[in-house]
Amino acid sequence: MDQFSERLRSIIPEGQWDAVLKTFSAPKPFSIRINTLKAGLKDIFEQLEKHKIVVQPMIWCPYAALLEPAANIEEWTSQGFIYAQGLSSLLPVIALDPQPEEKILDMCAAPGSKTSQIAALMNNTGEIICVENIKDRYYRLRSVLDLLGVKNVRIKLMDARKFRGEGGSFASAQRFDRVLVDVPCSSEGKFKTFDKKTFQYWSPRKIREMVRKQRGILLNATRFLKEGGTLIYSTCTFAPEENEGIVDWVLRKTDGAFKTVPIDLPGIAQYPAKTGWLNRTFNEEVKKCFRVLPTEDMEGFFIAKLVKGG
């Protein structure tokens, strides 16, 4: 963890360092999302309270809440009424802001947390195309979406870098209103000092491997967005190479076709995006990216919002 800590100290503002450092040694509280495709918010909250389960609803997200760690909610999770989901994990879809009847592309969909959140916000209308590369994760995705009652989705088992749309070619491919690109990453936001498994595979080399994959996925995703459409790029890592560095790279590769826009997430603590890293200066547009500050409730997360044209 020493090399990681040294890097992180260059990323987190000095005045917030001590508080952030403490978050790596404390377990996160148990958080849930009410699945509004199958249950009403008021009804579920009343049921939980009736069973003496302490509930702390999130002001910034009406369908999310914290529960006491020992809460037994199998009665609701087994029926798809409640889904266990980290609070930070909710933010990319909130930033995406999917609307009913839209066409949405989810480029890295498993295990289905964000896909099902999108479907719920669309009330199972419109269409979601999901892409997942790994077979066992693909089947896990299908299982989760079935349990949660998602009906407006089609799933593609393939590498997101090779996705060519329904017609099999860029020229004939469908264009989407919104695209979610929640990429595989080095997962630094999930590191815990008390659980070696969370960081045992971390290394600068791992970051470089992730960067190559992320570039391919994001660049391919940009090809399927409608003019004026919104694309969300997100990770659960701190590494600037995987965050601002990727956004900077794709802005250059797409030659002005995209711009970043500020992300409004009231109630969520953030800290400044990195404008450069390791002798590399990034495009000024990356200043509009959103870095989620790790807290006792939230894991570190990165979100960029890109709009095509306009």
A 10 A CB-CB count for 2 gives: 6
User: With contact defined as beta carbons under 8 Å apart, do 29 and 69 qualify?
Assistant: yes
Angle between helix 113-121 and 87-96 (nearest 10): 50
Is the separation of the CB atoms in 127 and 145 below 8 Å? no
Pair type for strands 55-58 and 61-67: antiparallel
Q: Which of 108, 130, 185, 236 is catalytic?
A: 236
Q: Own/partner pairs for 151-155, CB < 8 Å, 24+ apart?
A: 151/119, 151/124, 152/119, 152/122, 152/124, 152/125, 152/126, 152/127, 152/128, 153/115, 153/119, 153/127, 153/128, 153/129, 154/127, 154/128, 154/129, 154/130, 155/109, 155/130, 155/131
Write down the residue that tokens 């509004």 correspond to: 36
185 labelled catalytic:
no
* CB distance 88 to 189 below 8 Å: yes
The pairing of strands 61-67 and 30-34 is antiparallel
- Give the alpha-carbon dihedral of 90, 141, 127, 173, to 10 degrees: 110
Distance CA 65, CA 62 (A): 8
Residue 13 tokens read as 């503002």
Residues with a known catalytic role: 236
